Structure 1
Amino acid sequence: MDVLFIIPPVANNYILDIKWEDHFEFLGVGYILSVLRKDGVEAEVLDAENLSFHSDHIINIILEIKPEILAFSVAKSQAKITKSMIKQIRNKGFDKPIILGGYYPTLAPEEMLDGCNGLNLIVRGEGEHVVSKLIQSLLRNEEFKQIDGISYLENGSCIHNPPSNAITDLDSLPFPSRDTLPLIMAIGGDPYLISSRGCYASCSFCSIKAFYKNNNSIQCRIRSVENIVNEMEMLINKFNIQRCRIFDDNLFMAKKIGRKRVIQLADEILMRKIKIDFEIVCRADDVDEEVFTYLVKAGLKRVVIGLESFNDNSLKYYGKKLKAEDNYKAMKVLDSLGVECVGSYILFNPESTFEEIEIDLNYFYTRLEIDKGINLINCILSTSTVLSIDEGTVLFQNADGNYINDEYVLKDLQLNKLKKISVYISISLETNLLKLVEIEKYYKVYIKNKNETRIREQLNELWYELAKLNLDVFRMFFDQLAGLSATGEFSIEMTDEITSYFYKNLNHHYNRIMQFIERYKIERNIFPRVWFYYFKKANKQYVYEPVSATFHKIGEDVIRVLELLYQEPIPSVEERVLSEDNAAIQALDWVKKQIDDGGFIKEPKTYRMPNENIMKRTIRQIIR
């Protein structure tokens, strides 16, 4: 194998652990794979984040496959585990070139090069053409140090070559490889699609423009609507998709030009009579009733909208160049059109005050009653959102070493206690939250029967109850700490009373979830199962996926990987069975039997309900 791309996990998990965020494709790597394969390079990807692979598994796979070049795509949350893996594989004798790319290595190349022994190269900014040039040079043992857009160590010093040029014609790129899409769809995720690169806004906390400066460009670039819809049709025909996410930095690009383009996109979808639900990303000031009415007609169902806050002071701090009334207006339009809204929020920042937090908290209660169970994971997580001041942002440049990342102390020390409590509350909710997410993923993939509406209603009730509990407990601690800030009086009794209320209702909610699972026979541990079974047919290797009932041709490398992962030979279906006309049915029966017999089951991480006394002690320590 010429090059193996690793998408590392954020943390070490068990196989296919349930995560509360959606599973999604890493299209940056998908685009690079397509370009490399077009250029004749043998390239594969191991998406360890979506598979929730433990780093030990990943290291074993790398050492077994022995690719000529190893590449990692890294976000900031993945940097620590990536450094650790690189150190371990170097210590175990892997001596091939290692390349890093992605947002974090681009914005903090020196930190990655200096702090990661064994790392050879970093590709900054867009990777398609730079990575192809670099990998082909390495494979041919040719000089690579003249390639623009890379950073490397030389004699202990970090060398940063000039930025590479941005790809101006996005239509010239092949569609991204979709190696991981069958798995992602099988566990409840949807395909992603990128129609543009860049954003016209200049939010103080955002690093998009800093990233693209590494390609000598901060301008927005677009694909033609024909090219975008061609990819939609390909996904429908090849993968039988019904939904997709147009996950641009911002679909609208710029005000007038962006709206004209969005209408053209809707026109093209309608003209081709494509039946697909889709999701977009935008700002509040992009929401126009006329434009969005047309988008809904074309299939728009969901909008991820950058709200951040509903108080003007915070919006000014975040460089949004918007007022709270713009957010209210946008949400009113989307609600009137029946579009599901996923707002992104930042509740805490270094300058936050109790008055500002209360404005946002009041809005969370309003959203709770509007949504009534839909998308309430957003409402639950929003109370613990803390502004992260990251490399490449305006706030980072002005921070002078203070308030970096999200572990800083707020200027209001009582409010800083609330920040800590909010994070602790979110951790305590984890067991209930993950159970609901597991049911949601099961519901999305499996539940298609006469009870579907009733199941959906009861599931919404469970979401509503958990979101309401979270907001109520947050409000109680908010009131206590706001009073403490004013009077300086601390009451252990009040703290314990709130904690006991939280503990009691959290356990009651968990029992309701378990009753729901039993009532509707929601199959437990279904998503942590091993999804792949391989067999031979006509002397060729195939993988069988039970969920999609499809077969995929594979090579010997994949067989070794699977056997490494599960520490045992993977059984094969006999050739004589597969040679018959009903081979797929018999293969499925065989797989079901293996599952019924307890084969191929990987137990997920076990989450336990918190202990009341530990909760009380922890919260007392925070408040004191």
Structure 2
Amino acid sequence: MKILLVMSPMLRHDTHLLSDKDNDIPIGLCYIASVLKNAGHEVAILDGQITPCIEEKMISLIKTEVYEAVGFSAVAQTALGTIRLSELVKKHNPDILTIIGGVHPTVTGKEVLIQMPSIDIAVVGEGEITILELIDCFKNKRDFKSIDGIIYRRGDDLIQTKPRALVQNLDEIPFPEYSLIDIEKYTPPPGLFFKKPIAGLITARGCLFNCNFCADRVIWQGKCRLRSAQSIVNEITLLVEKYGVKEIKFFDSTFTINRKRTQDICNLLIEKDLNIVWRCSSRVDTIDPEMLKLMKKSGCESISFGIESGDEEILRKMNKQITVEAVKKAVKWANDAGMEVKGFFLLNYPGDTVESTEKTIKLSRELDLDFAGFNLIFPSPGTHVRRQIEDHYEINQKAWDNLNTPIGNEVYFYQKQLPPGYIMSVYKKAIRGFYFRPKTIFRAIKRIRNIEMLKSYFAGFIRLLKIKANDRK
């Protein structure tokens, strides 16, 4: 069969579909493409994140190519983009099978097909095995009821089958089909890379922790599975030797979740001597000075920590299971190892007060961080914090009803102990206060090592100036 896989774009305020060059490779679609291609199907990928005039491109492809199925990958923020494109597909050829997979259908269930009348089937959870069975049934005109992990239409009814069992050995899944994308077109936002081209890797699925704001446990059934160190390094070798990749971004929420595996990956990278740099995300309680030094030696130039709050009580309410003291130690150790260090913080968490918020902002400035990311809590479907907000807080209905649109950082609910307008004001204050100070600027200048980084940092600084200018309007 001939199958088109589409990474859905976001929908702007003016109802135009948005493409943006600052995006990661569509790793999930590349995995799906790989299993389909190995099964003998003809597959193409259309990435709405980086394709200008995506609607015109989609119409052209549907008219000129004889696709029998179109699969969309979507998160909450790209749901409206998926609706728009799936409507175009059905308008030009109602016989094409339309499928949606990814985080959004996994956490929303049947609601996704109510939202999207032009989608025929939703894949819930892991899609590699499901998509093969689904395409086989469609090709041979068999009923979908025997396929685990899907929601499909039967007349006016929505039928959800039993959950798909997780793949136990991730090494058995073939590497993503990188040949269907142009890796050089994918560049992270300014200031967030060292070398180009850059590729992303997934080394694990799931998480052992249970933060109340995170949807990982919903998506991965509360389990965590790891690829082997050898499989990971084999994929990196492929990316370097075949595609000329110079930097790797590990997509895992906690790359360092298993100490021995982390050490094995580092030692294999040192042994292979691939001349690659890499970056990862970690928790402050899964690293130590010895591990960080080994990571640095193997090419790790940047590490990100989910710090979230500077208030111990808020960290407890988040079920983060870390302390402010542990945060301070981890950031110091990463600096001592010579890494670029990023910290991410959440504002307006349920229970936050003016005092706890000020503690968070103060901590972000006290720590030796190169970058700080501030976000207002986003109530992801299926999470504990979403249920908590729905049950106990006054909802900002306009923002809540538009969770599927890229409306930026919004206050999704109100807390009586926080004055009106305080959160948006302090959010802007946090960004300005961190970046527009000599300490942050000097750290950035010291880290510049090539012309690419200079251009990237300069572009990032211009963006910050625009943000500051907009704040004054």
C-alpha contact (below 8 Å) 1:247/1:279 kept by paired residues: no
- Structure 2 unaligned runs (5+)? 189-195, 404-409, 437-443
Larger Rg belongs to? 1
- 1:238 aligns with 242
Aligned to 1:143: 143
Structure 2 residue matching 1:285: 3-state secondary structure: coil
Q: Amino acid of the residue matched to residue 197 of structure 1?
A: R
CA distance in 1, matches of 2:62, 2:362: 50
CA distance in 2: counterparts of 1:159 and 1:196, whole angstroms: 30
Contact 1:353 1:415 in 2 (8 A): no
Instruction: State the SS of the aligned residue for 1:346.
Output: strand
1:118 aligns to what SS in structure 2? coil
Which of 204, 209, 218 lines up with 1:196 in the alignment? Answer: 204
Give 1:336-347 correspondences, 5 Å limit: 336-347=336-347
Alpha-carbon distance, 1:110 to partner: 1.7
Residue matched to 1:363: 363
Distance 1:457 1:177 in 2: 28
Residues 586-615 of structure 1, C-alpha deviations (whole Å, 9 max, x = no match): xxxxxxxxxxxxxxxxxxxxxxx78x7xx3
Residue aligned with 2:305, SS: strand
**C-alpha distance after superposition, 1:347-401 (max 9, x if no partner):** 222322110111111123335xx45xx54xxx3x52xx21111112122344445
Asked if the contact 2:200–2:250 (Cα under 8 Å) also holds between the matched residues in 1, the reply is: yes
Deviation at 1:55, TM superposition (A): 3.6
Whole-angstrom distance in 2 between the partners of 1:155 and 1:427: 51
Identity of aligned residues (%): 24
Task: Say if 1:89 and 1:242 are closer, same or farther in 2 by CA, change over 3 A.
Answer: closer
Report the CA distance between 1:111 and its aligned residue: 1.6
Structure with more of its chain in helix, by fraction = 1
Alpha-carbon distance between aligned partners in 1 of 2:61 and 2:463, rounded to the nearest angstrom: 43
Alignment-derived partner of residue 121 in structure 2: 121
TM-superposition CA deviations, 1:111-151 (whole Å, max 9, x none): 21112112110111010011111112212222322101111
**Displacement, 1:323?**
1.4
Hey, what's the Cα distance between the residues in 2 that align with 1:53 and 1:122?
26
- What do the CA deviations read for 1:454-485 (whole angstroms, capped 9, x no partner)? x579949x839948x97xxxxxxxxxxxxxxx
SS in 2 for 1:167: coil
Deviation at 1:60, TM superposition (A): 4.1
Mapped partners of 2:56, 2:419: distance in 1 = 40
Relative distance call for 1:328 and 1:117 in structure 2 (3 A) is: same
SS at match of 2:249: strand
Question: Do the aligned residues in 2 keep the contact of 1:409 with 1:416 (CA within 8 Å)?
Answer: no
1:463 aligned residue: 461
Other structure's SS at 2:333 match:
helix
Contact map agreement 2:246 2:276 (CA 8 A) in 1: yes
Q: TM-score, normalising length from structure 1?
A: 0.64
**Greater alpha carbon shift after TM alignment, 278-287 vs 397-406:** 397-406
Q: CA deviation at 1:297?
A: 1.1
| 2-structure distance, mates of 1:427, 1:361 | 9
Please give the secondary structure, in 1, of the residue aligned with 2:6: strand
Q: Secondary structure at the match of 2:307?
A: strand
* Alignment check: 8 A CA contact 1:63 1:89 kept: no
Structure (1/2) with the larger strand percentage: 2
Structure 2 CA distance for partners of 1:124 and 1:456, relative to 1, 3 Å: closer
Please report the RMSD computed on the Cα atoms of aligned residues, expressed in angstroms: 3.3
* TM-score, normalised with respect to structure 2: 0.83
Letter in 2 for 1:344: F
Q: What CA distance in whole angstroms lies between the structure 2 residues aligned with 1:409 and 1:391?
A: 15
How far does the alpha carbon of each residue in 1:237-271 deviate from its partner, in whole angstroms, 9 at most, with x for none? 11122211122232233xxxx11111111111122
Pairwise CA distance, 1:422: 5.5
Structure 2 CA distance for partners of 1:361 and 1:15, relative to 1, 3 Å: closer
Structure 1 residue 35: deviation in Å? 0.6
| 1:248 counterpart (249, 252, 276) | 252
Does 1:283 pair with 2:287? Answer: no
Aligned length: 436
Partner of 2:11: 11
Counterpart of 1:393 in structure 2 is 383
Residue 317 of structure 1 deviates from its aligned partner by: 1.9
Taking a change above 3 Å as real, the CA distance of residues 93 and 231 of structure 1, as seen in their structure-2 partners, is closer
Structure 2 CA distance for aligned equivalents of residues 159 and 458 of structure 1: 50
Q: Tell me, in whole angstroms, the C-alpha distance in 1 between the residues paired with 2:244 and 2:84.
A: 39
